[in-house]
Amino acid sequence: MDFGKMLQGIRGISADVCGRMRGLANVRNARRVALIALGAGIMTFGIHNIHQVVGITEGGVIGGLLLLNHWFGIPTSIVSPLLDMACYAVGLVLLGAGFLGWSAVASAFLALFYALWESLPHMLPDLSALPLVAALLGGVFVGLGAGLVVRCGASAGGDDALALSINKLTGWRLARCYLFTDLSVLVLSLSYIPAANIVFSLVTVFVSSPLIDFVVGFGRSDRDETASNVTADGRV
């Protein structure tokens, strides 16, 4: 038996397997990047063409950037990465660096798409006379877009890092942490949005939240565990 040829054959097979694995990893990563980009595009499209036009806000970081955009005129393409970085900095201290990688990719796409939509005229009809329709439709855009991003193991903004950080500090359930950040921003938003519109903002929040859960868990047998593991798993 020629052990040299056998060893050479084993090495060839190993190299072929490694090459195929790298190829699969590259395809999977390319698909993940594409889905993150799609999610970021959907979410920012809805925020720019519905939320900002009608005056319906979101909670969390999205609501925060709309608040700063209104009072200080700072473009959302600038505010978005700044708020995200602030939340990620808190998360880095409290949670470690493991969850940051793909979230940074998502944050870059969010800023790019905000810049794109801001350079174009609004693409949807003005729904100011139909605030309930705007709230429902806006919630769908945010829920679908953010759900795709979170499904890929990333964060659709600093909301996730902030909520996880609050969870780490207080021991509250994660749902309560999200509700705390959302309601805090909505209360501040009363400074420029009529109370009636805040009610419609709550409609948006209650539409987008379960839709995110649905998109993240769609087609997965481990749906109950998905929300807690998705940032570490990132399966698409």
Nearest to 186, CA basis, from 202, 203, 165, 163: 202
Query: Quick check: 52 and 197 in contact, CB under 8 A?
Result: no
Q: pLDDT-based confidence at 2, cuts 50/70/90?
A: low
Residue-level pLDDT at 136: 93
Token representation of residue 51: 């939320």
Whole-model pTM: value is: 0.71
Report the range of poorest mean pLDDT among 13-17, 26-30, 68-72, 205-209.
13-17
Q: pLDDT-based confidence at 229, cuts 50/70/90?
A: very low
pLDDT score of 236 more than 70: no
pLDDT score of 5 more than 70: no
The Cα 153–Cα 49 span in angstroms is 27
Over range 163-177, report the average pLDDT.
78
Token representation of residue 171: 């021991």
Token pair 């877009």 in the structure block, residue: 145
